[in-house]
Amino acid sequence: MEKLEIVGKINQFLVEEFEVEPGKIVPESNLRETLELDSLDYIDLVVVIESNFGFKVKPEDFLSIATFQDFYDYVERQVGEKVSV
Amino acid sequence: MLIPKCDITLYIPQRPPMVMVDELVRAEADLAVTRFTILRDNLFLVSNRLGEPGLVENIAQTIAAMVGYNCFLKNIPVPIGYIAAVKDLKIASLPAEGSVIETTVMITNQVMDVTVVKGKVEQAGNVICSCEMKVVAKA
């Protein structure tokens, strides 16, 4: 899966699941603040990632994710690892 | 039927008049079906119909029955569960007094202590209520 395709898919489910305006999704913006995520929203985020990309998310993975760009990079890495296995 | 009405409280923590499931009809590791007859003395009856909180409680107790039954089979203590969130709740109609509802729950995901469950309530084959419920379990 190409990076652009991954970013498009992520942005699409963020808009649908978290009702965020597409214009607010900027790579350098803070993910948690922009989406106004609480602890239960993170559960939803894990669920949509797993169902859309087919890999298992470890909750501690989110410790290193601050911005949307971090999030895109994380998903791209995981998708790459899944393909190479 | 796996568990009849007379034994259901052995598997769920609720006690009358809060019991909102009668029988456990089917139970697997991640799926369960219960049946419940809405009687005149039901706490959640409003204008002779089971109110919305009663339907949500019925789904929650179906989850409790599934967990309780599976713990019984494994001979392990039943964890205490709490409803953390109810999402996408859709209610098409409220069942009338005297009617029988059948409720199905299915675990769709598990993230740390949070279990994500899809639930639906059917009456005479029609889905009258559905939602996604997040339940936190503490051993």
Query: How do residues A5-60 score in pLDDT, each as one tens digit?
Result: 999 999 999 999 998 999 999 999 999 999 999 989 999 999 999 999 999 998 88
* pLDDT on residue A30: 96
B90-99 per-residue burial string, b: 16 or more CB within 10 A, e: under 16: eeeebbeeee
Nearest in space to B64 (alpha carbons), one of B102, B10, B112: B10
Nearest to B134 among A40, A50, A57 (CB): A40
Looking at the 3D structure of chain B, how many domains does it have?
1
Q: B96 in contact with A at a CB cutoff of 8 Å? A: no
- Return the residue matching tokens 């922009």: A34
CB atoms under 10 Å from CB of B31, counted, come to: 14
* pLDDT on residue B137: 83
Q: What's the CA gap between A4 and A10, in Å, rounded?
A: 10
* Amino acid making up residue A9: K
* pLDDT on residue B113: 86
DSSP letter for B94, please.
-
- Domain span at residue B37 reads 5-138
Does A59 sit within 8 Å of B112, measured CB to CB? Answer: yes
Q: What is the CATH number of the domain that holds B14?
A: 3.10.129.10
Please check the confidence at residue B139 and state whether its pLDDT lies above 70: no
Nearest in space to B130 (alpha carbons), one of B106, B98, B100: B106
Does B84 sit within 8 Å of A40, measured CB to CB? Answer: yes
Domain ranges of chain A: 3-84
Compute φ and ψ for A58, nearest 5 degrees.
Answer: -95, 130
What's the CATH number for A3-84?
1.10.1200.10
Please check the confidence at residue A85 and state whether its pLDDT lies above 90: no
A17, A45, A47, A61, best to mutate vs chain B, most B CBs in 10 Å: A47
